[in-house]
Structure 1
């Protein structure tokens, strides 16, 4: 008796060692070991969000993830937005720990990609436009993640996810993953149907029990619709000028009025509105509220993609991934059989 092939099995599964072609986005602060392990154990591919984190935290989170599962994973770093000395230490720590896959984002930094490639590692590179896709592939990226402007968090381009992916699929010779606004099995099926090898999801996994995000942020996600999100560079402290993010509307975005873009971080006062332990968090910074955050949570960066309409409850990451996978299989089966 011949087994039916899994409709979700793609080359990404073979390349990364996962069962379902869904990557957990490397959300800074949110995608820690607990969430990464839950996604891995449910068959997806986890990314630890270690953007600008201390190497000691990277080491402890990698150790915690490995205690929870022996499944493969990536570590997400952002070379272009990290002080060079810290980036050097981060990469060095990851290599010393035997991390075999890196996920990079924002501007392509050839030295960073080439360093980890020389060490025998795989590189996933998220890009927001076709030129960045070409640069990332030229320096050795193994997978391109085409991020559309529907995505929550930092958004590098201004093109929709599927329109960008169509261009990248035409131009690239490496596998392409689609990211931005995808929170359902229909989105996953659509991505596979157009030739991508998988999707990357952030918002869908932020509203889960294992995410390190604050419960306030999770509640705002499940109550929101796509019209409650805005793209703005007003939350830009700690990042280069012009770095846009997609967030939920709040008192800060209301204060921007029609001027959602064009904010200069040099002109933004350093006003403390919250704390993580002894660490202050500033109004209009890129920091979103974590489990450990206290203060004016409403005024912080509440990241969310335009796929929030379908995220209506906080569930386990494993359940969310299984729902998505089952729905995608149903959609693909219906397409196959009319």
Structure 2
């Protein structure tokens, strides 16, 4: 057991936060003594309610949290006809480009997921409100905002419910705004991380944010997939680690197997930051998809949420075809992943990953303490 300000705040055994869109991963991390966090923006309100209900059945009262995407800058539409008004803003050039790319690789058509546009269109403060209503109807212990400063109503509502508010930051100026908004925990996310990141490395960013945060706990994020890396985060002054990419090598993670197979074959230099999935720079595995968007005559990605509305159905088709062994789909296939992908050796249960992270961290800290004493 490693006690820190974070473990005291959340009432958990280990300073390890596991962020994932898969409820199975969230429950496994929490049951292993860490703190699981579900990516709530991946779901409609109805889907989120079902996922949180399932998680609570698995963790039997142990704490867990949710993460929301609430960007400060995003495309807007008619509130009375939001999806149609946003769809109307997508240029025909972009639609033709995506259709042409899928045709070039021979990707078969599929039946789109119900609620697809609803999920994309909800990536704004109003859409987040509906997800928050669901989250606060459950026994969450933490709510995190992944893009920008959380709206005041989110912070106030969370604190009234006794829920901890966390926020991801990629620069010092972000942290200043987050602290002024009243957040309880800062997550210093370096550029090595999967998903939406800035350009500053975790080793540099974490101590900067720790010095700024005062008595507020800081989590290090980005480049942490082993016990040694968790120990390094603690050595930098963090109260724990926010880990995301490492769970993509777990059995419980719902990422399609062809993507996981590409992860296992990848090196740490096979990722890039690209706005071509969400409209904001997000680290993911490089594939033929990104090569196509980077050609000089290709259109520029659209702002959030127009870009996900443009491409999410395409990704559903790519995923479905890749799972059937389609070679063109495998070339395009990708997902959000950090630079730690180069350390993936095999798929394992999420609980085993969590336990090994903690055990290896404890061993490394003991080795360092022993070497200091002997010296």
TM-score of the pair, normalised by structure 2: 0.76
Offset, 1:40: 1.1
Mapped partners of 1:140, 1:176: distance in 2: 14
Aligned partner of residue 265 in structure 1, secondary structure = coil
Q: 1:264 to 1:18 in 2, by over 3 A?
A: same
* Counterpart pick for 2:254 among 196, 212, 217: 212
Larger-Rg structure: 2
Mapped partners of 1:262, 1:129: distance in 2: 29
Mapped partners of 2:235, 2:54: distance in 1: 36
Structure 2 residue aligned with 1:72: 63
Tell me the C-alpha RMSD between the 2 structures: 2.8
Offset, 1:68: 0.7
Q: 1:141 to 1:167 in 2, by over 3 A?
A: same
Offset, 1:24: 0.8
Report 1 or 2 for greater relative contact order, CA contacts < 8 Å, sequence distance ≥ 6.
2
1:33 matched to 2:20: no
1:191 matched to 2:233: yes
TM-score of the pair, normalised by structure 1: 0.84
1:100 matched to 2:90: no
1:48 matched to 2:38: yes
* Counterpart pick for 1:163 among 192, 201, 204: 204
Q: 1:290 to 1:49 in 2, by over 3 A?
A: farther
Structure 2 residue aligned with 1:9: 3
1:24 matched to 2:18: yes
Is the CA contact 1:12–1:198 (under 8 Å) kept in the aligned structure 2?
yes
* Counterpart pick for 1:147 among 189, 201, 204: 189
More strand by share: 1
Residues 132-174 of structure 1: per-residue CA shift (max 9 Å, x gap): 111111112111000001011122x210012111110111121
Is the CA contact 2:247–2:253 (under 8 Å) kept in the aligned structure 1?
yes
Mapped partners of 2:57, 2:139: distance in 1: 15
Structure 1 residue aligned with 2:89: none
Structure 1 residue aligned with 2:105: none
Structure 1 residue aligned with 2:313: 281
- Uncovered stretches (5+) of structure 1, i.e. residues with no partner: 1-5, 273-279
Mapped partners of 1:40, 1:290: distance in 2: 30
More helix by share: 2
Structure 2 residue aligned with 1:3: none
The count of aligned residue pairs is: 312
Structure 1 residue aligned with 2:355: 322
